[in-house]
Amino acid sequence: MSSEQKVAIITGASQGIGAGAVQAYRKLGYAVVANSRHITPSTDPGVLAVPGDIADPDTGVRLVDQAIERFGQVDTLVNNAGVFVAKAFTDYTDADYDFVTGVNLRGFFNVTRPAIAAMLRNDGTRRGHVVNISTSLVDHANIAVPSAIASLTKGGLNAVTRSLAIEYAARGVRVNTVSLGIIRTPMHAVATHDALASLHPIGRMGDIGDIVDAIAYLETAEFVTGEILHVDGGQSAGH
């Protein structure tokens, strides 16, 4: 097993934060397995694009197996893929629940379980790192953004971050989370940006680079585990 080049698996990697994370890890010298439901092959030999829906139980194992087959190991997992459906709680349908929990919770479980198992086979005392993506709505609910199922699922990620960080600390696997405000990505129409910016005490939306920088910090911060790092323009502090 090579100790020279590390390998990251990044879900939701076809655009936005995930695509930015792919580039950040390549700059850190990592090979990357990039996943989303619809992702095109990369011309970079250091990036292996693997399409698949993480809500499918087979996808996580396939990502890990292909990472090991192509690059030899798994050192980092960035659980970036996630979905958000904003509705009044009583308007949610069973289909909404299955969709959001399928990606945000089942998807996390499907990929993270085999990824940590692979990390534990790495040599040395620093065997791996998991970074989850959450939302500051878990900590600071906002009447303008109904988000019960987001809080249910992403709150679960916050909790499991601490649980896994403690469970695997002595075995060399760190687990952290970046908790987001509203980020300027293609999912938000430009016409909504002013209104969305006003939801942050700092007065602007976040940029993809803000989140990618936080992920890269956690990757290199070897004394940090179990951290919920808020990158939210002050949302979690109050408004």
Quote the pLDDT of residue 2: 44
Q: Which of 205, 181, 215, 217 is nearest to 12 (CA)?
A: 215
Domain with residue 72: its CATH number is: 3.40.50.720
pLDDT tens by residue, 134-189: 999 998 888 888 889 999 999 999 999 999 999 999 999 999 999 998 888 767 77
Question: How many Cα atoms are found within 13 Å in the side-chain-facing hemisphere of 14?
Answer: 15
Residue 231 falls inside a structural domain: no
In this structure, is residue 118 part of a structural domain? Answer: yes
pLDDT at site 104? 97
Instruction: Report the pLDDT averaged over residues 207-223.
Output: 96
Minimal CA–CA distance to 1: which of 74, 77, 73, 75?
73
Residue 140 lies in a domain: no
pLDDT of residue 3: 52
pLDDT recorded at residue 64: 98
Q: Is residue 142 part of a domain?
A: no
pLDDT of residue 193: 86
Secondary structure element (H or E) that encloses residue 61, with its range: helix 57-71
pLDDT in tens, 108-130: 999 999 999 999 999 988 999 99
User: Which of these ranges, 16-30, 84-98, 135-149, 163-177, has the smallest mean pLDDT?
Assistant: 135-149
Residue 191's pLDDT band, with cuts at 50, 70 and 90, is: confident
Q: Quick check: 1 pLDDT over 50?
A: no
Could you tell me which of 137, 179, 157, 44 has the C-alpha nearest to residue 13?
A: 44
- Give the residue, 142 or 101, on which the prediction is more confident: 101
Q: What is the mean pLDDT of residues 62-66?
A: 98
The number of distinct structural domains making up the chain is: 1
∠ CA(226), CA(46), CA(178), 5° rounding? 20
Percent of the chain with pLDDT over 70: 98
Query: Judging by beta carbons within 10 Å of its beta carbon (0-12, 13-18, 19+), is residue 20 exposed, middle or buried?
Result: buried
Supply the mean pLDDT for the chain: 93
Q: List the domain range (segments joined by +) for residue 52.
A: 7-133+162-180+208-226
In this model, does residue 102 exceed pLDDT 90? yes
Strand, coil or helix: 182: coil
